[in-house]
Amino acid sequence: MRGITADLAPETATRNLYIETYGCAMNLADSEVMASIMLDKGYKTTSDPLEADVVFLNTCAIRDNAESRVWGRLRELKHQKKKNPGMIVGVMGCMAERLKAKLLEQEQLVDIVVGPDAYRDIPKLIQQVEEGQKAVNVLLSREETYAEITPVRLGSNGVNAFVSIMRGCDNMCSFCVVPFTRGRERSREPQSIVKEATDLYNQGYKEVTLLGQNVDSYKWQNEAGETLCNFAQLLEQVAQIAPDLRIRFSSSHPKDITDEVLYTMKKYNNICNYIHFPLQSGNSRVLKLMNRTYDADWFKQRIQKIREVIPDCGISTDAIVGFCSETEDEFKDTLDMFRYSQFDFAYMYAYSERPGTMAARKYADDIAAEDKSRRLQELIDLQNSISIEKNKRYIGTEQIVLVEGESKKSEADLKGRNDQNVTVIFPKQNGIGKGSFVKVKIERSTQTSLIGNVVVVL
């Protein structure tokens, strides 16, 4: 969760807006779009909800725990409204679309509910609330991409920025609620993406991350349905903006990442050698139940291809344990896949049934909670040991690092990430600040980071 603010506020801004963002980078990008819309209507952002005329929680519906946190936060805000009775509270994002009726009815916690495709409508919804009505718009769109809106960079370090290239998802994974909360896939015009990334570079940003629920299925088509620009071609266009603008992207679906994307990454030094490559399960039967459209052998082949084209590529993944009817042997297949793939990092979860999904409708959530917890811990322990060994390989090497700011643990140290997305920590030196590129010799490593000293400022 991030409570975020921005320095940008026009002289005409007369009202305060507070946005609290939960979940993925797509949600943060949405908050930045919404803040831009509201800025144009006279709202400046604040970091204190007690000062706000309007408070929005930008929510995530991927897991039950994320929703529980939002319900708790809404009850806290209800108490804060006693100190600020005129404050309007809204919920936006995925949870808003999924639970619209409950949000408006339960305990009088929410005044506005707005879905991911209706942010332009927020000023009108606020007016409805001020006229004494509850306000809701959760209609999904087949066209909305917010392409022409310049996002307000909320809580920005001035170094890294997200650029949304598409919205929605057509992959009907049986465990996932995203296609129902964010709608069908639609891609932004490539020229608008290149312009946004170019503007960021001209403002001094040194790294952009291209965002989508599944960036590899990006395609800009003409009215006849002919693809004029695919993801590999877009990636190349953005890489050509400037050789010192770092490019990352997230997320990929294994079925869609093409050899063309891999060879484009290899061609351009400023495209980072890092891919988030969600596995979900290492067992083919479970993958079929998840509707992932690939099996375990096919996944191994794609891992092999990535290693063949980009030998030093960092690869992270997602995994769910305890999915419906998963046996102990099938869980062991996931352990074996982790051993085979040697992921640098992994986001690992116990299965959480989401109402409305195919899995909730068709399959029993029949794995005991204690078994889910045990399996999850076993997988975490395995990945931790892999991450430790993977990071040891960097000891003695020199890594190019983009400085992002101070280390969280020590004001005497700076931090950044290398090409493979591993955090690098090193002592401060005069003349080295945010946005600098430095070469760091790695002297030791931990499970999550590399530690060393600057050799040269680039």
Give the whole-angstrom CA distance, residue 228 versus residue 170. Answer: 20
- Which pLDDT does position 440 carry in this prediction? 98
- Which pLDDT does position 11 carry in this prediction? 54
- Which pLDDT does position 13 carry in this prediction? 67
Domain harbouring 231, CATH code: 3.80.30.20
What sign results for the dihedral spanned by CA atoms 156, 158, 162, 163? positive
Domain harbouring 90, CATH code: 3.40.50.12160
Shortest CA distance to 248 belongs to which of 403, 407, 60, 417?
417
Give the whole-angstrom CA distance, residue 186 versus residue 11. Answer: 35
Q: Which residues, at least 6 apart from 4, have a Cβ–Cβ distance to it below 8 Å?
A: 19, 20, 21, 28, 31, 45, 47, 154, 155
Whether residues 412 and 367 share a domain: the answer is: no
Question: pTM score, two decimals?
Answer: 0.89
- Which pLDDT does position 12 carry in this prediction? 62
Using DSSP's 3-state secondary structure scheme, residue 44 falls into strand
Domain's final residue, options 78, 106, 137: 137
pLDDT in tens, the chain (458 residues): 555 444 444 556 689 999 999 888 888 999 999 999 999 999 999 988 888 999 999 988 777 777 888 889 999 998 888 888 889 999 998 888 778 778 877 667 899 999 989 999 999 999 999 998 889 998 888 888 888 888 888 878 899 999 999 999 999 999 998 888 888 999 999 999 999 999 999 999 999 999 998 999 999 998 888 999 999 999 999 999 999 999 999 988 999 999 999 999 999 999 999 999 999 999 999 999 999 999 999 999 999 999 999 999 999 999 999 999 999 999 999 999 999 999 999 999 999 998 889 999 999 999 999 999 999 999 999 999 999 999 999 999 999 999 999 998 899 999 999 999 999 999 999 989 999 999 999 999 999 999 999 999 99
The DSSP bridge pattern shows strands 2-4 and 345-350 to be unpaired
Whether residues 26 and 8 share a domain: the answer is: yes
Domain's final residue, options 360, 375, 392: 392
Domain harbouring 452, CATH code: 2.40.50.140
Chain centroid, CA 234 distance in Å: 19
- Which pLDDT does position 107 carry in this prediction? 61
Whether residues 233 and 338 share a domain: the answer is: yes
Q: Which amino acid is present at 321? A: V
Q: What is the full DSSP assignment across 102-160?
A: HHHHGGG--SEEE-TT-GGGHHHHHHHHHTT--EEE----SS---TT-----TT--SSE
Tokens 């000062």 found at:
51
Whether residues 345 and 420 share a domain: the answer is: no
Whether residues 320 and 182 share a domain: the answer is: yes
Is 147 within the bounds of a domain?
Answer: no
Whether residues 356 and 431 share a domain: the answer is: no
Shortest CA distance to 59 belongs to which of 9, 17, 5, 110?
110
Q: Which residues, at least 6 apart from 234, have a Cβ–Cβ distance to it below 8 Å?
A: 165, 190, 193, 210, 218, 220
- Which pLDDT does position 6 carry in this prediction? 43
Is 242 within the bounds of a domain?
Answer: yes
- Which pLDDT does position 180 carry in this prediction? 86
Give the whole-angstrom CA distance, residue 58 versus residue 92. Answer: 5
Is 315 within the bounds of a domain?
Answer: yes
Is 231 within the bounds of a domain?
Answer: yes
Whether residues 406 and 319 share a domain: the answer is: no
Whether residues 106 and 78 share a domain: the answer is: yes
Whether residues 309 and 435 share a domain: the answer is: no
Q: Which residues, at least 6 apart from 281, have a Cβ–Cβ distance to it below 8 Å?
A: 287, 290, 292, 319, 320, 323, 326, 330, 333, 334
Whether residues 405 and 364 share a domain: the answer is: no
Is 144 within the bounds of a domain?
Answer: no
Whether residues 272 and 331 share a domain: the answer is: yes
Answer yes or no: are the C-beta atoms of 289 and 363 closer than 8 Å: yes
Domain range holding 450?
398-457
Phi, psi angle pair for 315, to nearest 5°: -130, 125
Is 430 within the bounds of a domain?
Answer: yes
Instruction: Report the C-alpha dihedral over residues 66, 176, 289, 349, rounded to 10 degrees.
Output: -30
Whether residues 91 and 215 share a domain: the answer is: no
Is 142 within the bounds of a domain?
Answer: no
Q: How many domains does the chain have?
A: 3
Is 154 within the bounds of a domain?
Answer: no
Give the whole-angstrom CA distance, residue 21 versus residue 2. Answer: 5
